[in-house]
Every structure is written in C-alpha cells, then in structure tokens.
Amino acid sequence: MDIDLQVRIAAFNWLSEQVNSQGDVLPRKLLESGFDFQGQRIPLVAPQGIFKPQILDLPLSITTAPKGPYDDYFGKDNFLIYRYRGTDPNHRDNGGLRKVFELKRPLVYFHGIEPGKYLATYPVYIIGDDPSNLTFKVAVDDAIPVYEPAETNFARQVAEVSDARHAYLTSTVKIRLRQRSFREKVLDAYKSQCAFCRLKHRELLDAAHIIPDNLPEGKSTIENGLSLCKLHHAAYDSFLIGVTPDYIIHVREDILEEEDGPVLQHGLKGLHRTKLILPVSKDKYPSKDALDWRYSRFTKAS
C-alpha cells in the first residue's frame, strides 16, 4: 500500500478513536496537534481550508469555518459544496484537490460548528469539479471498518459509488451539523450544567428541545433549548416534569406520591417547585412562549 493511503487510514483510525472517546465534535487544538505516524506528528488542520501535511503530496483534509447557515454548504442535490481556495482554479491547493478527485482518494471533512469546535466527517470523496463556480462537489461515504484490509476496502467502496447512497449519506451530515451545533450552543449557554439539578458533566448532558423538533415550531435554537442531564431530559420528554413560563419546575403529582429510593427522592421529587437554573445572559433564556406551550401539555398529561 502506498504511503498516501497508509496515512489516510491512520488518520481515519485515529479520528475514530477520538470520536469514540469524546463524541464527533472535536476541539481544534487536538486536530492541530494531530496523530503519530511512524514516529512523525501529522496534524489534520492548518489555517488554510485545504490542508496537506508535509508527509503527503496531496491534501488530506478540507475544512469550513463556523459561519453562515448550513444550507449554504449543500447543493440542491444534497451534496456538499466546497469552495476553491481563492479565485485561481490552478492554485496549488485547488490543483491538489483536483488530483485527489482524479485518484479517488478519501479525505476528511471538518465543519466548524463554532469557534474552535469541528464536526469530523470521513471518508469523503470529491465527486465533481466546477471551475466556473470555483467549487468542488463532495460526497460522504460510509465509515471504513477499521480492521478490514484497507486497500481492498477502498477499491470496493470506490467501485460501488452510487449517487443515491452518497446523496443520502451526505444529507445526514446536514442533520448532524444542526444537532451538534444545537447541543454545543445550549450547553455553553448553561455553562455545561443541568438546568434542573446542576450536574456539571458535559458527557452526561443533552440539549433538550422545549417544543419538540419534529414539529415545525420546534426550532433548534438556544431559546427553544434546555441543558438537561440524561435523566432529566428523559423525565422532561415523558412529562414527568414540567417547567412553567416563570421557570418553576413541577413534578407530576403521582410521582410526588411515590415512595422509593434516593434517585426518586432527590432526582425527581426534590425538584418540585424549585427554580430552573438559567443562563447567565438574559438573551439566552428559554422562550416563555415555548415553555408555556410545553407546560400546557404537561398539565394535560398530569
């Protein structure tokens, strides 16, 4: 196997380890310091969007900065649109990416969801080059099984290129971007603590929607979000707990009457009539209209 593929596979494997241990939103510092390949440090990002580490002749990753609505990054056909570097189609970086396209080499795509935080997607392939619009078209493929002999695996994947499958897989990135960005924004607004119980372990926290996101009004915005631990997210979603528009927590009556161990006592019953823990800045408070909408459903369920 040539060194180019070896490094790409090592990069995917390393990323998979990071994603498994800390989720798929990765800090930029980690990506800048990169991974060890046969005694050599290989970073995964640099200030420019199209990144080629020293050890390779061709780019290894493409990155978009955190700005603008996600729709801007997707074409009508749901594939990712990646802008050239500058306006010269033959700039070294654009030429490198074109070569990656010709050779069907897999890349990593990093999407900035907020400053210093990136959602990693890999492998992605360049499937189109549009010099008149100064863009490349990018498709996402399935994650590569780590232990499969990689060369045969790539050959198989590239041979199996199916537009429909790639369009579907690529469209899931948009959903992931929205979800991860929602989580980061809401957890940051609440300083990484549960708005009910103050638990401060980010790995145990979710961003809960006040109006569920399967409804048209259920926007993935900070005002429609609450930072909740896993237990309280589930309790809120199943109407065991409600929150009034004045930020007072209510526990369902039949729960209050139950007698059981300490989790029920402290984790649920103890919250009754306590005040929601709110974000520091007022403009990030949960929407009173959304809370009202949700609380009226809670009282109906009680």
Query: Which parts of this chain interact with Zn ion (CB under 5 A)?
Result: 194, 196-197, 199, 229, 232
Nearer Cβ to Zn ion, position 230 or 288?
230
CA distances from 189 to 41, 143, 229, 245, 283 (A): 35, 32, 15, 18, 10
User: Position of tokens 């969007």?
Assistant: 49
CA distances from 9 to 37, 103, 106 (A): 11, 16, 9
Tokens matching residue 140: 């996402």
The CB-of-189 to Zn ion minimum distance in angstroms stands at 16
Strand, coil or helix: 120: strand
The CB-of-249 to Zn ion minimum distance in angstroms stands at 10
The CB-of-292 to Zn ion minimum distance in angstroms stands at 22
Nearer Cβ to Zn ion, position 138 or 205?
205
Burial 107-125, CB ≥16 within 10 A → b, else e: bbbbbbbeeebbbbbbbbb
The CB-of-197 to Zn ion minimum distance in angstroms stands at 3
The CB-of-93 to Zn ion minimum distance in angstroms stands at 46
Pairing relation of β-strands 61-64 and 107-114? Answer: parallel
The one-letter amino acid code at 251 reads: V
Q: Burial level of 263, CB count in 10 A (0-12/13-18/19+)?
A: exposed
Q: Can you tell me the distance from the alpha carbon of 301 to that of 239, in angstroms, rounded to the nearest whole number? A: 7
Nearer Cβ to Zn ion, position 154 or 196?
196
Nearer Cβ to Zn ion, position 229 or 240?
229
The CB-of-271 to Zn ion minimum distance in angstroms stands at 8
Roughly how many angstroms between the first and final C-alpha of the chain, as a whole number? 63
Nearer Cβ to Zn ion, position 46 or 277?
277
Q: Can you tell me the distance from the alpha carbon of 142 to that of 183, in angstroms, rounded to the nearest whole number? A: 24
The CB-of-222 to Zn ion minimum distance in angstroms stands at 18
Nearer Cβ to Zn ion, position 44 or 199?
199
Pairing relation of β-strands 205-209 and 135-140? Answer: unpaired
Nearer Cβ to Zn ion, position 100 or 249?
249
